Amino acid sequence: FFESKMTAATVSLGHKYCCLDQEHPDSKFIGANIPWYGPKHSPHDVPSFYDISGITENPKAFKLVIDYFVARYKAAGAEGPTHIAGFDARGFVFGPPIAMALGIPFVMIRKAGKLPGVLVTAGQYVTEYSKDEIVVRLGSVKKGDRVVLIDDLIATGGTALAGFDLVDALGASVYEFAAMIALPFCGGVDKIRAHRDGRFKDVSIFTMVDDKAIGPEMCRDPPEGTPRCVSTSEAEALASKLDL
């Protein structure tokens, strides 16, 4: 299989906030495998919706991303994380392979109404898209655990902060918040630092690429008039037309 060398250094972006060197070939390779779409072909009305399927559908890129996360946490040794917790739903893509490689549990942070059993909630929170509520299974995170919170990106920080509050309320600590993509102009990192009078100001934050590494050439909007969704009987003809 592919072998990742993971030679990109981390660059400090502020107090306990770092990312991969954006000029390194690995960072550029990751960014070059993240397409984005405008509002007409996105699930939300945002200028650019980043599509992580560009990573998951490229085994080399996917493995590189996972290997960087795994190497980061393995390097911490016995003082590293005890749990990886992923946000519903794209955190479920990156979290499980990281947790398996580290030999530690993966915890699903799900939206309300999705998990069975007895659950714990942190209450409702506001994101850039909507108002939501997250829950975990009672007993999945306990006092003394060191938890990495992982998602595909950080924007306004609403979802991240809900995870911080939930883990903190259960007596565990957030070891790090990690995301593949950062949108610095949304101010999410600053909101984490300011939240609850700076309670999480010293928690590590790590991202791989920022939106500047994903250029306009990665826009994959189809020609004007292309339907948003087609039937299976129409799929082959449209894929041929769009050269997919």
Residues acting as catalytic residues: 90, 128
Distance of CA 6 to the CA centre of its chain: 19
Number of C-beta neighbours around residue 41 at 10 A: 17
For 48-74, how does the pLDDT look when each residue is reduced to its tens digit (9 = 90+)?
Answer: 999 999 999 999 999 999 999 999 999
**Interval 194-228: pLDDT, tens:** 999 999 999 999 999 999 899 999 999 999 999 99
Mean pLDDT, range 83-107, rounded to an integer: 98
Q: Tell me the pLDDT tens digit for each residue of 177-199.
A: 999 999 999 999 999 999 999 99
Separation of alpha carbons 119 and 137, rounded Å: 5
Q: Quick one: CA torsion of 185, 186, 188, 191, rounded to 10 degrees?
A: 100
Q: What is the mean pLDDT of residues 135-162?
A: 97
pLDDT of residue 2: 47
Residue 3 has pLDDT above 60, yes or no: no
Distance CA 89, CA 77 (A): 28
| Residue indicated by tokens 């016995």 | 78
